[in-house]
Amino acid sequence: MCVIINIENGDFPKFDTLKSAELLNSHGGSIAWVENNKINYQKGINAKTINKIIEDRLKPNNVKIAIIHFRIASVGNVNKKLCHPFQISNKVNLDLIVEDSKYDLLFHNGTITNWQNILIKFMQGNKLRIPKGELSDSRIMAFIINHNGHEFLKKLAENNKFSILTKNGIIKYGKWVKVDNIECSNNYFINNFNYYDNNWWQKSKYNKNAIIKSDKLDQLEEKYDLIADKVNQKSDYSLSKNYQVVKHDYFGDLSLKSRPYQERFNDWDY
């Protein structure tokens, strides 16, 4: 899912807004900004740290242009390095803190289910090397548009949103909404949930067989192992409070991998 928050006039979101965005997109936050004609960013951080950067550095220095992002992992592992942004470059390095970036930065909200096919087609006939380390659809897009240009993103913007931070401002693709007069890639984190209600997950439309009762955990674990053996790839899972199962998998089935974790259990009938 994710959410992008574009700041173009120095009007930063309130801390409560940041916390709400983080609660629905809890796999890592980030902020990037233009200061003294330099692009800087920090990623893999939480809402509290983002707010501190805003209050202690950006506002005192009259920073007007910034982008905030909160990630939920739909393609790629839960990993600070796969938080956005990604430098639009050949290597697309995974640095967590950069001052004076030499490259523009890409932020993405959405899922590109056929990203591997796009990458294969792009690599045919050229001698470029795929960036080292863990990959996601967003990181690969930063790699590709470094060569094909931003216009390539127009083809994907019907179901995705992209923001590119440059020294001259923000370039945007996709449809955007306003939250407290600030442009965002969606407003799900504001409209659909009461985050201060401890039962918000159970009440939400995203809770589709995601809460697994404890007496079914052994059976579920066995099923994970069978699926992992079948595709001959590693499959990990972790249990959070109330036995909510969070699944991180690489089954190779992009249609399955790109869907919200909670919906996948419905299809596990191998």
CA distance 185 to 175: 7
In the prediction, which pLDDT does 224 show?
44
Q: Looking at 128, 161, 191, which one is the last position of a domain?
A: 191
Pair 90, 211 in one domain: no
pLDDT at 127: 85
Does residue 197 lie in a domain region?
no
Answer whether residue 27 is part of any domain: yes
201, part of any domain: no
* Domain-embedded: residue 199: no
| pTM of structure | 0.72
Residues 61 and 156 in one domain: yes
What is the extent of the structural domain holding 225? 207-267
118 lies in the same domain as 70: yes
Residue 152 lies in a domain: yes
Q: What is the pLDDT of residues 102-117, one digit of tens each?
A: 999 999 999 999 999 9
Specify the pLDDT at position 237: 35
| Residue ranges of the chain with per-residue pLDDT less than 50 | 192-221, 223-270
- Number of structural domains in the chain: 2
Predicted pLDDT of residue 75: 80
217 & 102 share domain: no
In a domain, 261, yes or no: yes
219 in the same domain as 105: no
Residue 245 inside a domain? The answer is yes
Whether 29 and 146 map to the same domain: the answer is: yes
Residues 42 and 111 in one domain: yes
Residue 97: inside a domain: yes
Give pLDDT, residue 191.
57
Same domain for 132 and 167, yes or no, is: yes
| HEC profile of the chain | CCEEEEECCCCCCCHHHHHHHHHHCCCCEEEEEEECCEEEEEEEECHHHHHHHHHHHHCCCCCCCEEEEECCCCCCCCCHHHCCCEECCCCCCCCCEECCCCCCEEEEECCCCCHHHHHHHHHCCCCCCCCCCCCCHHHHHHHHHHHHCHHHHHHHCCCCEEEEEECCEEEEECCCEEECCEEECCCHHHHCCCCCCCCHHHHCCCCCCCECCHHHHHHHHHHHHHHHHHHCCCEEEEEEHHHEEEEEECCCCHHHHCCCHHHHHHHCCC
- The pLDDT tens digits of the residues spanning 213-234 come to 334 444 444 544 444 444 333 3
What's 28's domain CATH number?
A: 3.60.20.10
User: Which of 191, 224, 253 corresponds to the end of one domain?
Assistant: 191
213 and 260 in a single domain? The answer is yes
Tell me what pLDDT residue 72 has: 86
Name the domain boundary from 159, 191, 223.
191
Please check whether residues 186 and 253 belong to one and the same domain. no
